[in-house]
Structure 1
Amino acid sequence: MSRPTGLRAWLAIYLKGVCMGSADTVPGVSGGTIAVILGIYERLIAALTALDPAIVRHLPTLHTTEGRSALAADLRRADVPFLLALGAGALSAAATVATVMHVAVTRYPAPTYAFFFGLIGASAIVLYRYVEIGTPRRIAVAAIGFLVAFSITDPSLAGTSTTTLPVLFAAGAIAISAMILPGISGAFLLLLMGQYEYVSGIPRRVFAGLLDALGGNVDPLVDSLVPFVVFVSGALVGLFSVAYAVRAALNRYREDTFVFLVSLMVGALRLPIREVTDNVAAVSSTTVFVVVVPAVLGVVAVLLLDRYTVDLEY
């Protein structure tokens, strides 16, 4: 497996994590879509499924030079440094960039979703260059992928549901699949399950609990940490379950799997199209400018990424 060398490559991975984390915090674009766009999808799947619990066997020997060297070698073999850099970027986005993305989606939905449309549409075109869909089976696979994403991203499906710990666990397991499956936003899946508002408020409640704990009252912190831990536990279960399923599909049917994944992206274009049309009151030169320019910027962003990151081996 190729390894990045130099600050530029590691910074690129971190920034790609930022992009993935930003995408998955708003009901629109999947972090998995961003991983495919940025060329790290297969490496992400490989790294997630390379993690081996047996690595804990090194813990008793960490006080020795040999033990630490053996642990470091196993971590590099499992590509853990890549996951750490990518995860650090995603967590940074959750704490910072995601706020900007949320403001953009809520205050300026038409240009923001137009940008998403250009980003996803251009990415699908670029990625289709690397797959062959000229067989009846792959045409059928592409149609299924398109229909799955088109159906799931129906905004009218969004609803409300009582929040309980089992519901939060299931929500985490289902929503995290968006980091693996391109085209379906984790935030949008939470919206469909009626849990988006509650889950998006968890970080704020944990932070408020920390402040209360510093003042001597730990009860709010405990109350906020319990749903957080349950949601994250569900997310971890879902993350690795879907990752192993995708790895098995890639190993056995690589071309068909990529046709399906890219077609998911195309089907998911329904959401940005719906958001743009719902937030444009009337067609005019101004509204055309507001929609077309961001869409073109999304296309240009993908083309630039495709051109200037092709020399980086991921």
Structure 2
Amino acid sequence: MATHREWIALYLKGVAMGSADAVPGVSGGTIALVVGIYERLIAAITAVDPARLRRILAGVRPANIPDARAAFHEIDGAFLLVLGAGIATAVVAVLSVVNHLLTTQPVATYGFFFGLIAASAAVLLDGVALDTPRRQGAAIAGFTVAFLASGYASTALDSSLPVVFVAGAVAVSAMVLPGVSGSLLLVVLGQYEHMSGVVSRAIDGAVALARGEGAAGLTEVAPTIAAFLLGGVVGVVTIAHAVKYALARARAATLAFLVSLIVGALRAPLVEVSIRLAESGETWRAAAPRFALVAVGGAAVVFVLDRYSAAIEY
């Protein structure tokens, strides 16, 4: 039986993971490795399946409570809830700050993201072998998918509920993979800024509700949040299992595909900055120095993280 101190430590580990997950290019999976909970996290997530979820939900009936408790223990439910609470706390806090920065300093913010992504790709490329046609093909496919999506999604995809659902499925399942950033995939899908704004509005709505000013703010964003979370559940139950299967059957090719996604996604921050510059009338020549400066800072963050996780076996 875990002590209160152990649960608090687990919550704080979730806060560290959530802080990483909220910024593109830094992987919560890598943080899970650093703090020593990665294997338990993978075991818990892959234990989640529709049958166990149905058994847990059936616990609303008194006669089914013992079986619901058993299913909850089978998926290490207490671990997931405490860790998830820490992750959610950090994601909400960080995204609120990011939403403000994207509004006031979009060039510098996306420059920082670019540095995070570029350094992540550089670090992970060292562990990728491209010595067979199959692995080379997987790398080309990953790069092409991310590169094309980075240009298309930001300008063509809306933020309708089906799109948000898919974004949630992809982003949440990516959180369990070392080196693959769920927030980065949100940028590629053109949904990162939208979701950071939704989180910020949800906080404002919660504050207004606490002050007795009504629940209109929360009601406005509730469908989007519900679609994202539902997509996340589907992603954990399906996509994460598919990636786990691919890693088991063709680990080297799958890693080549995943890392190449990151390389191709370098286009995403550049596209977003280009859009902001076009709206403001500023030129790339004027914006490039501050973009490059904060990019170096972002890269430094990743290299520091890598220094502490380099000895851990993925």
Contact kept in structure 2, 1:146 and 1:266, CA below 8 Å: yes
> After superposition, where does 1:1-314 map in structure 2 within 5 Å?
11-20=12-21, 22-23=22-23, 29=24, 34-35=27-28, 37-38=30-31, 40=33, 44-51=41-48, 53-54=51-52, 56=55, 75=73, 78-80=75-77, 83-154=80-151, 157-159=154-156, 168=161, 171-181=164-174, 182=180, 184-186=184-186, 189=189, 191=191, 203=202, 207=206, 210-211=209-210, 225=222, 228-276=225-273, 279=277, 281=283, 283=285, 287-288=288-289, 290-310=290-310
Task: Name the count of aligned residue pairs.
Answer: 288
TM-score, length-normalised on structure 2?
0.70
Single out whichever of 217-226 and 174-183 deviates more from structure 2: 217-226
The residue that corresponds to 1:26 in the other structure is none
Give the share of equivalent positions with the same residue, in percent.
Answer: 33
Single out whichever of 194-203 and 271-280 deviates more from structure 2: 194-203
How far did 1:235 drift?
A: 3.3
Alignment partners' CA distance in 1, 2:253 and 2:265: 18
More helix by share: 2
Q: Helix, strand or coil for the counterpart of 1:185?
A: helix
Q: Structure 2 counterpart of 1:100, which letter? A: V
Q: Structure 2 counterpart of 1:283, which letter? A: R
Aligned in 2, Cα 1:103/1:221: closer, same or farther, shift over 3 Å?
closer
Q: Structure 2 counterpart of 1:186, which letter? A: L
How far did 1:91 drift?
A: 1.3
Q: Helix, strand or coil for the counterpart of 1:119?
A: helix
Contact kept in structure 1, 2:154 and 2:189, CA below 8 Å: no
Q: Structure 2 counterpart of 1:235, which letter? A: G
**1:239-267 alpha-carbon deviations (Å, 9 max, x no partner):** 32211111111111112111111110110
Contact kept in structure 1, 2:166 and 2:231, CA below 8 Å: yes
Contact kept in structure 2, 1:145 and 1:267, CA below 8 Å: yes
Alignment partners' CA distance in 1, 2:300 and 2:215: 49
How far did 1:303 drift?
A: 1.4
Single out whichever of 37-46 and 105-114 deviates more from structure 2: 37-46
How far did 1:35 drift?
A: 3.0
List runs of 5+ in structure 2 lacking aligned partners.
175-179
Q: Structure 2 counterpart of 1:145, which letter? A: G
Aligned in 2, Cα 1:51/1:309: closer, same or farther, shift over 3 Å?
same
**1:2-52 alpha-carbon deviations (Å, 9 max, x no partner):** xxx9777763443122221x23xxxxx26xx52355464776554321225
Over the residues paired in the alignment, what is the CA RMSD in angstroms?
4.3
TM-score, length-normalised on structure 1?
0.70
Aligned in 2, Cα 1:300/1:142: closer, same or farther, shift over 3 Å?
same
